[in-house]
Amino acid sequence: MAESSAPSHRPTVGIIGGMGPEATVDLMRRVIVLTPAQDDADHIHMLVDNNPAVPSRIAALIEETGPSPLPELIRMAKGLVASGASMLAMPCNTAHYYADEIAAAVAVPFLDMVELTGRRLAAVAPANATVGLLASTAVLKIGLYERALRRHGFAVRIPDRQDAVMAMIRAVKAGDTGVAQQNSLAIIAGELANAGADIVLVACTELSILTHNTAKTVPVIDALDVLAEEIVARGRRTRVP
């Protein structure tokens, strides 16, 4: 076997996962695919807490019928850091409502997917562009991405058929990630473009799983890709002794 060129003492990413489990695995897959590796040792060290028992973000934030997930998210974050994580990532857009509290609870960087995505759009999209936002109703109601995008001067457009978006999210959670769901997402992305969106932002990790055909209809930025790229960029750096 060829010797690995992997630098020693690379950072380790801790993934606060399980929201949902498939989105967590999808983030890991994207990190692996994006990593320039010739051998196992060239890949990013990932510690994963894939915990599907995190209290419902929708029940807590929208329905106001369930407990806050924040204590469990902080417990997971601290556990990952105690196990050696030198940075944290969380492949759930809705849970980023608690990003500031999670970041404040640990002494390592928290990679904020919402802020990273806003910066990416600012770098690649035309000034004053209209961003078509594909996200869960919960993310729309708490205004996570609208605030981040408007800080960069973007207008935001949401789908006319948000019920269809939620149907796709539920389908993915139930294991249906096939061509029919992928095509449905592409159609709604096209509708956003026809309604004036210059670029479409996929801001739901369940929808991220369905994006295979979406870029054929309109320019697309996927927040999960942005997070995976940041993990790879940081994970390939050698720690300063």
Tell me which of 92, 102, 200, 210 is the catalytic residue: 92
Sheet holding 199-202, edge to edge: 155-157, 130-134, 199-202, 220-222
User: What distance lies between CA 29 and its chain's CA centroid?
Assistant: 13
Query: What is the rounded distance in angstroms from the CA atom of residue 111 to the CA atom of residue 62?
Result: 24
- Residue 220 region, left (φ>0) first, then alpha (ψ -120 to 50), else beta? beta
Tell me which of 102, 149, 158, 204 is the catalytic residue: 204
Q: Is 204 a catalytic residue?
A: yes
CB 51 within 8 A of CB 76: yes
Sequence-separated (6 or more) residues with CB below 8 Å from residue 175: 22
Write out the H or E segment, with its range, that includes residue 46.
Answer: strand 45-50
Query: What is the rounded distance in angstroms from the CA atom of residue 141 to the CA atom of residue 129?
Result: 22
From first CA to last CA, the distance across the chain in angstroms is: 29
CB 189 within 8 A of CB 181: no
CB 30 within 8 A of CB 225: yes
Residues forming the active site: 92, 204
